[in-house]
Structures are given as structure tokens and as C-alpha cells.
Amino acid sequence: MTEQSTAIPQFKNDVEAADALAATYKKLNQEISKVIIGQDEVVRLLVTAIFCQGHCLLIGVPGLAKTSLIQTLSRALELKFNRIQFTPDLMPSDILGAETMDRDRNFRFIAGPVFANVILADEINRTPPKTQSALLEAMQEYSVTIAGHIHRLERPFFVLATQNPIEQEGTYPLPEAQLDRFMFNIWLDYPNYQSEVDIVKSTTTNQKPHVGHVLSGAEIMQFQELVRRVPIADNVVEYAVKLVHKTRPGKPQADKLAEQYLEWGAGPRASQYLVLGAKANALLNGKYSPDIEDVRAVAVPVLRHRIVRNFKAETEGLTVDQLVQKML
């Protein structure tokens, strides 16, 4: 495990801190791009979620470097990293840990792999719901309860889960309650031609790029507090909330598309994440306050796993992304 730096930078004011965050994001992008090519938008969303204290679900076909991306990100962030490979026989204790009896017949707690800063839940939908739900308390409360004892997780703490969308045999879809715990649902697409050429060139030699440390855990937590202090205009907040209300069929502010094609709309957590995501997105782009464009920049990954299409939408081939884009 990586030993974390405890030094916390001192800023004169929030403007200086905001400038430092934007500069840090550029450095972070440079380090990650040494290994990960052609996934700038995915990196932006991951970093946005980290500064918002959010978790991410990454969905993409095999070979798109989902695992490598998360490992590279954890190295650049100088954080403790654990990978959990989810399988049908995985038990909750394999994730959280368990109490065992020592030689003196005293019970002591053996911590599981969830006790780290960055958790890669690889192929999370391959394990049954009982094991999937073991992560719920950790993701929401940043703690684990074993035998009546509460064990606090070290902050910052992020769960970055992956799924394979094309192989559904032997999988267990995540329940809506757990999906709602993820700030973003990020879809990874195939790289373009030139990016794939660069990927092949960089991965078929003996040279391994060195990823330098950019941020410590203490610095991340400082920037997380900064994101929440960012001022935001009332009209931007209202735009975010109205967008969420548009997705709720049967409600007064529901969009016609929602009435026609949605079974269920997004909850209040979507509004919260739209505002937080807009604040972080503004800071990453060197702005001191978010506008409506910042809300739109995070709308699709925030909403795509929080609204449920009806049968009509499925038969007409309308995707969730298309519906959200039309509502925007």
C-alpha cells in the first residue's frame, strides 16, 4: 500500500484554491494519459466524481482498459487501492472482513479489501444481490458494521465498479437502490482509429510509463470541501431540479417524453448530484461558479441509471441517453 502524504496546502482564499484545482486537474490528466489513451471524457467524469465524493459505475465491453484506468487513477492520486473480483461464490465477508478467534480465544476483526481508499469492484454484476448489498453501507455511510461493531473507513473513499454489457449469462442486475448510490453511470466506447493505433504502439513494447503522484488524500478532501463552497446561482439550481422533475411521469412538471416513454423517473439524489457535478465541472474548467452548461455536461451520466424506460420505449428502440438528450 502507498504511504500517503499528510501535508495540506494552504490557500489564501477560495479563488486561489480553485485555480490550484484547475491546474492540478491538468497535471492529473497528463499523468493518466501516459497510460490511458483516448478516454479524456471518461477521465473528466471520474475526477469530477472524486471531487464530489461520489462513486462511479463504468460499463463497457472487454478490452477498453476499464481496470487499467482505475489502477492508473489510484496511482496518480497516491491512494490505497484494492481490487475485488466479483464472482458468483463471493461472500459479504470476502469484501467487508470478519471476526475470527485467535489463539487466546478472543475475537478480533480481520479487515477485508473494502478498507482502502479506491475500491475497484470488478464485474460487480457477477455476484448475487446479498453480496452486492454488502457495499451499500460502505458507499453511503463510509463504515462497515460487523457483529454489532462499527468500523470506520479511511477517507477519501471511492467505489469504482465495472460491468460488461454484452455478456448477461450468469449475472445479477444491480437493484435500483444500489444503482442510485453511484453518482455517474459512465459508458466507455471503442477508441477511434488513431487512438487505437497509439494504444497498440504503447502497449506492445517493453517500455512501461511511470505515473507520478499528483494528489494526496488530504488534498483531495480539501478540494472536496471547496466544491461544496462554490457559489451557484438560483436559476442554475432550478434548471437542475426542473430537469429531474421532467423525468417523472405522472407529475405536474413531467415532460411529454417522460409520460410517453418512461416507467419511472429520477429521485432527489439526481438533483443533488447534478448541482455538485456542475460545481466540480466548472472548477475543472477554470470557472469560479457553474452555469447551465455545466449542468448539461454531467446530466447524461447522472440520469441514465436513474430513469426506467417503459415497454413502448424499448420496442421503438429509444435509449435512455436519447431521451435525456431530448429533455435537455
DSSP letter for each residue of 114-159: TSSSEEEEETGGGS-HHHHGGGHHHHHHSEEEETTEEEEPPSS-EE
Residues 175 and 309 in one domain: no
| Residue 299: inside a domain | yes
| 3-state helix, strand and coil shares in percent for the chain, rounded to the nearest 5 | 45, 15, 40
Report pLDDT digits (tens) over 57-107.
999 888 788 888 888 898 898 889 999 999 999 999 999 988 887 777 788
> What is the pLDDT confidence band of residue 28, given thresholds at 50, 70 and 90?
very high
Strands 97-101 and 262-264: unpaired
| Residue 102: inside a domain | yes
Residues 48 and 195 in one domain: yes
| Residue 319: inside a domain | yes
| Residue 8: inside a domain | no
Report pLDDT digits (tens) over 107-151.
888 889 999 999 999 999 898 888 888 888 899 899 998 888 899
How large is the C-alpha radius of gyration of the chain? 21
Residues 182 and 84 in one domain: yes
| Residue 1: inside a domain | no
C-alpha cell at 34: 501516459
Instruction: Give the DSSP letter of residue 224.
Output: H
1: pLDDT strictly greater than 70: no
Tell me how many domains the chain contains: 2
Predicted pLDDT at 167: 66
Q: Which residues, 6 or more positions from 134, have their beta carbon under 8 angstroms from its beta carbon?
A: 92, 95, 96
| Residue 316: inside a domain | yes
Closest C-alpha among 70, 91, 35 to residue 161: 70
The DSSP element (H or E) to which 262 belongs, if any, is strand 262-264
- Its domain, for residue 85, covers 14-220
Do 34 and 209 contact (CB within 8 A), yes or no?
yes
- The residue-averaged pLDDT of 221-225 equals 94
| Residue 291: inside a domain | yes
CA terminus-to-terminus distance, the chain: 43
pLDDT over 70 percentage in the chain: 96
Residues 238 and 109 in one domain: no
Domain boundary among 193, 220, 247: 220
> What is the pLDDT confidence band of residue 170, given thresholds at 50, 70 and 90?
low
Report pLDDT digits (tens) over 199-219.
888 888 888 888 888 988 899
Residue whose C-alpha cell is 409520460? 259
Residues 105 and 199 in one domain: yes
CATH number of the domain residue 125 falls in = 3.40.50.300
Report pLDDT digits (tens) over 240-280.
999 999 999 999 898 899 999 999 999 999 999 999 999 99
